[in-house]
A and B are shown apart, each in its own frame.
Chain A
């Protein structure tokens, strides 16, 4: 059981003549919460489907939980819990009926008590006979998670699990993920929320089908080698206008009365910023580069590669 939970190399998937996943290699250690990030349409969902046997890769190889992804799809399905992006349990079945169905498919015994325990953990015992389709987004997400971990999988694949869920429910969801990981469950979660990325042990950034950054949050930020400056003052809007297209300035993002400036070349960025700060009477100060700054930079790079 020392093999990594996920170890895949060179995964490639094409739909027609469009390559959706390009040569992706990924390692996820057991018990780790791995974040899978990238803009919409970057190939996150496809990569996750390749790993749980829902899609066959055109190239690449690897293992999930020690099972070959090409030949042992059935064994992988048994040990993996996959929560789809869209709620994909049966809306015309009640909560309890959905859980009975899942418990039955995984051959859990005795089904009735497994379902009862799950309902109690969920806090849905009193609503067990409500149709799943009538639940709110947050409750659907909780039901889906409960159904995915009912068979005690070793690996949990979550595809944008918190889309359309309010902040409090998101917070509770992540607390639950950390509790499960502490018990030894490995989690691969895709998201495009930065705060969620920061709650992962390691992150993998994918853009246009290619993995472009990997590591802990600190590593990813450090490796990006970006300099971030903040301009503060009432005339920051005017400063933004003046800085547009200035040498070394790659990102200009207003936050209230402040202006975040990001660039790869620290010296040029600082020179431009100091000039504009003097013109507009704004205060210039160095700042921490955030993960978001890095991702926006990565997205820009990838787009440059495409065009």
Chain B
């Protein structure tokens, strides 16, 4: 039996940790239940491209052009007209109260101007208190307007329509042409769910031993710090694997997320990411004195990583200093990796940078955890 590592000892530790994990029924159920629950909840609830937003129409003359306009807007799915005959004052009140997200004003000379070919104007006022609410709705406008008018005026406007279509290239969304939020959210959710459960569970690893008074006994027996670390984190790799399978299956079955890239590459990426997470959790448990502290440290880490990783807000939209801060979270690199591979079909070479970053996290965190590990009760 080697002095510093023995499979026999590791096996003893693994068996013990696995049994303890399984016997803590509530925690175990949470680890398997939470991913699915969160996926369904957030997958369906979070939508940065909301549709069917309430709108009010202010149109003094209800001619055929106005009606064409309204039905075209409704057909985009973004607008749902709750009033079609409001006065400007009423509409103003409604948008101020938040009853409607848009006020569409068609001036009384709209029809005349169209017939004359004299550039017609429509005013759309959007409640932009939440910018993401309106962006999708507004970006479809020019296309829709041009389309609606060309149908009504006939062939002559065909050229105008073409021009409008070319213009709409600006808002064309690559990899997700229909702007389906789930494509972006679900792969990201995989990362967030893994991060929450893996880090939190392993952050209790050593503090639980200390609090229950079993640490003294464990330290008096011949297990090395490396063996103890592996014994603590490896059972959670297995739990993580189950979570990954659950989330990926649900992504396919419930949200119909495309798997453009290679599945093995996705799985390897997830594996390295989970490894980094469980070791991070373990590192927290070498620092924290109590389970309560471990929990607090986990949340202290969790929130900024959620905000700055590009899960909640576009990474490239943040100021440079925030982007630099974001780079220190494994989640940031994992999100890049999984979105590239899953949605864009990136190959291993393309995502090598993200892989390298995650592997570096694993090495650094494991080194720090082994250094931090207290072999004595001092």
Residues in A whose Cβ lies below 8 Å from that of B6: 107
Residues in A whose Cβ lies below 8 Å from that of B378: 55-56
- B320 at the A/B interface (Cβ < 8 Å)? no
* Contact status A105-B221, CB under 8 Å: yes
* A window 165-215: CB within 8 A of B: none
Residues in A whose Cβ lies below 8 Å from that of B15: 97, 100-101, 104
- A102 at the A/B interface (Cβ < 8 Å)? yes
CA distance A226 to B235 in the complex (A): 62
- A296 at the A/B interface (Cβ < 8 Å)? no
Q: Mark A88-106, 1 if CB is under 8 A from B, else 0.
A: 1111110001001111111
CA distance A97 to B16 in the complex (A): 7
* Contact status A56-B376, CB under 8 Å: yes
CA distance A153 to B137 in the complex (A): 77
Spot the interface stretch: A32-40, A46-54, A268-276.
Answer: A46-54
* Contact status B212-A105, CB under 8 Å: no
Report the count of interface residues on B (CB-CB < 8 A).
29
- A74 at the A/B interface (Cβ < 8 Å)? yes
Residues in A whose Cβ lies below 8 Å from that of B129: none
Q: With A54-B220, A55-B377, A88-B213 known to touch, is A107 a contact of B19 (CB < 8 Å)?
A: no
CA distance A100 to B19 in the complex (A): 12
The residue from B3, B12, B220, B377 contacting A101, defined by CB atoms under 8 A apart: B12
- B347 at the A/B interface (Cβ < 8 Å)? no
Residues in A whose Cβ lies below 8 Å from that of B212: 88, 90-91
Q: Mark A67-110, 1 if CB is under 8 A from B, else 0.
A: 00000011001101010101111111100010011111111000
* Contact status A104-B217, CB under 8 Å: no
Q: Mark B354-378, 1 if CB is under 8 A from A, else 0.
A: 0000000000000000000001111
Closest to A83 in B: B217
CA distance A77 to B9 in the complex (A): 14
Residues in A whose Cβ lies below 8 Å from that of B13: 101, 104-105
* Contact status A78-B222, CB under 8 Å: yes
Residues in A whose Cβ lies below 8 Å from that of B1: 107
Residues in B whose Cβ lies below 8 Å from that of A93: 16, 19-20, 23
* Contact status B220-A86, CB under 8 Å: no
* Contact status A106-B221, CB under 8 Å: yes
Known A54-B216, A89-B217, A100-B15; further 10 A-B contacts with Cβ < 8 A: A84-B220, A88-B212, A88-B213, A88-B215, A88-B216, A90-B20, A92-B19, A93-B20, A101-B13, A104-B9
Name B's A-contacting residues (CB within 8 A). 1, 3, 6, 8-9, 11-13, 15-16, 19-20, 23-24, 212-217, 219-223, 375-378
What are 20 sample pairs from A and B whose C-beta atoms fall under 8 A apart?
A: A53-B220, A54-B216, A54-B219, A55-B376, A55-B378, A56-B378, A84-B220, A88-B214, A88-B215, A88-B216, A88-B217, A91-B212, A92-B20, A93-B19, A97-B15, A101-B12, A104-B8, A104-B13, A104-B15, A105-B9
